Amino acid sequence: MYKIHRQNHNFQIAYFLAGACHTPDGAYALLQGLKEEREAAIKNYSVTELKNKAKTIRAEKLLQGTEAEKLDGEAELLEIENNKESGKVLYNAAKDELDYINYCIDIVNPLRRYKDLSDADAYEEAQREEWKLELIKRAENSILTTGTIPTDHYDTMRMHPDFITEILPRIDNTLELTKTKTPIEMAKLLKPDFNLPKLLK
């Protein structure tokens, strides 16, 4: 999909990025990654501005030289001006995107199980639950679309420590539901516990 001036639009963040996570902790980790990238882009804008000032000084000196140097100076100044306009647009878009990311973080942070840990430790602790729910979702999708689970995915699920106690019972339940429920009924019954878009205004 299109990304006019932005890395990701609000809809993409809410539904396909952070919204694709299965837990508040997973969404928080992903949002923090998006936040760091946008903050870096905003900081880089200040660096670019300083470099443009230096380029402008050098270009203006060229205007005092030969005909060829004058043309080079004029071209350089025009390029700086063009880049300045597009840079400002991207800078404002990055700020808008960062505002939305921070808004999402404010929503999910109070819901996190591991919010009392450092971010690095919280990211590690959240892996087990996030992976468990992701594996379950992939298995459900396979059952709903093909009626079976691919061998390689089944093998991956068996590696998870919660395979017997939590993953396998969910798979069995999904298989049973397909015998009596319509696709619409299945979609309603298999809704995720954590639904970020529903929490966002």
Which of 59, 89, 111 represents a domain boundary (last residue)?
A: 111
Q: Is residue 148 within 8 Å of residue 142, measured between CB atoms? A: yes
Domain count, the chain: 2
| Virtual torsion, Cα 183, 189, 191, 197, nearest 10 deg | 90
Residues 70, 95: one domain? yes
Which of 84, 111, 138 represents a domain boundary (last residue)?
A: 111
Q: Taking the model in full, what pTM does it have? A: 0.86
Residues 125, 192: one domain? yes
Residues 102, 139: one domain? no
Judge whether 170 lies within some domain: yes
pLDDT of residue 12: 96
Judge whether 49 lies within some domain: yes
Residues 40, 89: one domain? yes
pLDDT of residue 193: 85
Residues 133, 46: one domain? no
Q: Is residue 197 within 8 Å of residue 19, measured between CB atoms? A: yes
Q: 10-residue block means of pLDDT along the chain (201 residues)?
A: 85 96 97 97 90 92 91 91 87 95 97 97 97 96 93 97 97 93 87 90 78
**Tokens standing for residue 23:** 């837990």
pLDDT of residue 94: 95
What contacts 24+ positions apart, CB below 8 Å, involve 79-85? 80/52, 80/55, 80/56, 83/48, 83/52, 84/52
